[in-house]
Amino acid sequence: MSVLDDITIDLSVVLGSTHVPIRQILRMGRGAMIPLDCGHDDPSLVYVNGKLVAKGKVLVNEDQMSVEVTEVVRGPMQGGR
């Protein structure tokens, strides 16, 4: 068993975003469409513990969805290394 096996992270994949008034959300029914601030060719953003780490594209294969990482986002070096 690896030391890493018990470490959990919060992973989020963001397709896009928008600002919607709560009154509009309360009026939505099943099948309602929420327009996002991105196009179908724009990359999805992959966040780990709230930090952007990668960009990619969403793939759909039958009933399975996945993210193909197309770019790793490099940030400033941590810990002086």
Contacts of residue 71, defined as CB under 8 A and 6 or more positions apart, other chains included, come to 43, 54, 55, 56
The domain segmentation of the chain, as residue ranges, is: 3-72
3-72 topology per CATH: Surface presentation of antigens (SPOA) (2.30.330)
pLDDT digits (tens, 9 = 90+) for 58-70: 999 999 999 999 9
Q: Are 37 and 17 in contact (CB under 8 A)?
A: yes
pLDDT digits (tens, 9 = 90+) for 12-57: 999 999 999 999 999 999 999 999 999 888 999 999 999 999 999 9
